């Protein structure tokens, strides 16, 4: 029997819902807002770890080799990926990349040679409508289908074993909510996030007027075979209703400057961040907040008019010239843009159980990751190329996705160098 979920009531989650300001920027009269500002409440945390700016400044600088150790995605001069959504490194040395365009998993040997294909396009068991995420869980490869909201489980020889659909129980909805994203640890514990939820700050999405809004999301913690033992409610991603468009849609065109929740899982903790502040909540698998790691001294960087103009220019350039481009330009001129960059853009747990936090500060052409112990002690800082999306961190290797100058996707591994050998 599935365990009865422990649902943390919305009344226990302190949320600051405030529109801090609405202002014009630059010569274009750009409008900006900071809707629905969310903070994890101190009262729910067993411990609060305040990280000072001096601690962060004194953290050791770790280095990354300038050239990749391996670049995977070409066979006899032919590109094998349509695109790459996720990649992992298996304990036996092989690499796997998820291709959401061709809806299959591509497997590479430890030396980077192409080995085989797992799965295929389709709606059935072991088939994908959108191959989106990979994890090594309980001795198996888990592959999440973002379209079907289901997880396909493969043995290490590529044999499909089973398929399940993570459903997060909700006391705010008559039915369970399908997951949009999952993470797992090597013991088979999973964390799942569902954005299929009523909006934050208003009763129903149909009541949202044109402009920005922030939905609430559910985060489930549990076991793939037993079910979710706890459910947490937090603020979700920034979204936008197009003027006169009706309905709701994600704020996908401005994901680089919009907030979105991040989750990562260790042997005994689920880490959650929303991006509003530099803070990470650490949850036990029973749903209690064991620790809140945060740095109040870090200021929120404002989104400049120049940054918004750059986003608008890039979006418009992707449309073919003509009516479509003109309509998009008119739409973007009506948008209310974010006032601040997110403080955190991503979370990972490495093979040593250390927590990696991707800074939301605009530091192009580099992306900064800060590394902490699970208790919040700063260990190091790693700067990587902005073109390299880190998806897994091993003992001395960063695994992820990179796009070349021609727009071709690769699974790439870089060697990195720690300044200490402590385990977390």
The token pair at 114 is 């192409």
CA distance 135 to 185: 8
Q: 17-31, 100-114, 362-376: lowest mean pLDDT where?
A: 17-31
Tens of pLDDT, residues 153-166: 999 999 999 999 88
Q: How confident is the model at residue 335 (pLDDT cuts 50, 70, 90)?
A: confident
- What confidence score (pLDDT) does residue 2 get? 32
- What confidence score (pLDDT) does residue 185 get? 94
For the segment 17-41, the average pLDDT, to the nearest whole number, is 60
Q: 37-41, 110-114, 117-121: lowest mean pLDDT where?
A: 37-41
Residue 395 has pLDDT above 60, yes or no: yes
Question: Pick the residue with more confidence: 36 or 16?
Answer: 36
Tens of pLDDT, residues 197-224: 544 544 344 555 556 777 788 899 988 7
- What confidence score (pLDDT) does residue 10 get? 31
For the segment 254-279, the average pLDDT, to the nearest whole number, is 90
- What confidence score (pLDDT) does residue 76 get? 61
* Contact between 233 and 172 (Cβ < 8 Å): yes
Count the Cβ atoms, other than its own, within 10 Å of residue 174: 5
Q: How confident is the model at residue 77 (pLDDT cuts 50, 70, 90)?
A: low
178: closest CA among 228, 137, 225? 228
Q: 16-30, 150-164, 361-375: lowest mean pLDDT where?
A: 16-30
For the chain, percent of residues with pLDDT exceeding 70: 83
Q: 4-18, 245-259, 379-393, 404-418: lowest mean pLDDT where?
A: 4-18
Residue 1 has pLDDT above 90, yes or no: no
Q: 33-47, 58-72, 240-254, 360-374: lowest mean pLDDT where?
A: 240-254
For the segment 296-300, the average pLDDT, to the nearest whole number, is 87
- What confidence score (pLDDT) does residue 171 get? 57
288: closest CA among 229, 244, 332, 333? 229
Residue 232's alpha-carbon distances to 217, 379, 394, 396, in angstroms, are 8, 29, 29, 34
- What confidence score (pLDDT) does residue 159 get? 96
- What confidence score (pLDDT) does residue 17 get? 29
Please provide the distance, in angstroms rounded to a whole number, between the alpha carbons at the two ends of the chain.
35
Residue 142 has pLDDT above 70, yes or no: yes
DSSP characters over 268-311: S-EEEE-SSSSEEEEE-TTS-EEEEEE-TTSPPPBPPHHHHHHH
* Contact between 369 and 356 (Cβ < 8 Å): yes
Mean pLDDT taken over the chain = 83
Question: Pick the residue with more confidence: 209 or 176?
Answer: 176
Residue 132 has pLDDT above 60, yes or no: yes
- What confidence score (pLDDT) does residue 259 get? 87
- What confidence score (pLDDT) does residue 300 get? 87
- What confidence score (pLDDT) does residue 16 get? 32
Domain ranges (residues) in the chain = 6-73+166-370+404-417
CA distance 372 to 354: 6
Q: 100-104, 175-179, 180-184, 352-356: lowest mean pLDDT where?
A: 175-179
- What confidence score (pLDDT) does residue 330 get? 82
* Contact between 401 and 389 (Cβ < 8 Å): yes
For the chain, percent of residues with pLDDT exceeding 90: 51
Residue 194 has pLDDT above 80, yes or no: yes
**Whole-model pTM?**
0.88
- What confidence score (pLDDT) does residue 347 get? 97
74: closest CA among 408, 418, 382? 408
- What confidence score (pLDDT) does residue 243 get? 54
């Amino acid at each position: 029997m599935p365990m009865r979920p422990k649902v943390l009531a919305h009344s226990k989650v302190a949320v600051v819902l405030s529109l801090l300001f609405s202002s014009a920027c630059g010569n274009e009269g750009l409008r900006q807002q900071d809707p629905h500002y969310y903070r994890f409440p101190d009262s729910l945390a067993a411990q609060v770890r305040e990280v000072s700016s001096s601690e962060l400044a004194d953290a050791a600088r770790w280095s990354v080799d300038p050239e990749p150790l391996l670049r995977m995605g070409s066979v006899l001069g032919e590109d094998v990926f349509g695109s790459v959504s996720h990649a992992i490194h298996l304990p036996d040395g092989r690499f796997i990349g998820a291709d959401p365009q061709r809806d299959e998993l591509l497997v590479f040997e430890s030396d980077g040679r192409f080995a085989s294909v797992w799965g295929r396009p389709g709606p059935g068991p072991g088939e994908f409508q959108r191959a989106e995420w990979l994890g090594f869980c309980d001795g198996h490869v888990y592959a999440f289908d973002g379209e079907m909201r289901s997880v396909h489980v493969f043995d290490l020889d590529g044999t499909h074993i089973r398929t399940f659909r993570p459903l997060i129980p909700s006391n705010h909805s008559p039915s369970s909510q399908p997951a949009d994203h999952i993470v797992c640890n090597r013991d088979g514990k999973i964390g799942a996030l569902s954005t299929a939820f009523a909006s934050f700050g208003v009763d129903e999405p149909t009541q949202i007027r044109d402009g920005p809004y922030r939905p609430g999301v559910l985060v489930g913690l549990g076991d793939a075979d037993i079910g979710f033992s706890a459910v947490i409610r937090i603020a979700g991603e920034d979204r936008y209703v197009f003027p006169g468009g009706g309905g709701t849609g994600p704020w996908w065109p401005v994901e680089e400057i919009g907030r979105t929740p991040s989750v990562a899982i260790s042997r005994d903790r689920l880490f959650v961040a929303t991006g509003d502040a530099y803070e990470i909540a650490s949850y036990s698998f029973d749903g209690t907040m064991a620790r809140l790691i945060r740095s109040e001294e870090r200021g929120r960087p404002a989104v400049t008019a120049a940054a918004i103009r750059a986003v608008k220019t890039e979006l418009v350039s992707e449309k073919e010239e003509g009516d479509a481009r003109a309509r998009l330009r008119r739409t973007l001129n009506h948008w209310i843009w974010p006032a601040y960059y997110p403080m955190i853009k991503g979370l990972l747990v490495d093979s040593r159980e250390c927590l990696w936090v991707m800074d939301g500060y605009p530091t192009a052409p580099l992306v900064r990751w800060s590394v902490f112990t699970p208790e919040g002690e700063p260990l190091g800082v790693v700067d990587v190329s902005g073109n390299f999306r880190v998806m897994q961190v091993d003992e001395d290797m960063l695994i992820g996705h990179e796009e070349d100058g021609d727009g071709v996707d690769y699974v790439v591994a870089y060697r990195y160098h720690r300044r200490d050998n402590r385990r977390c």
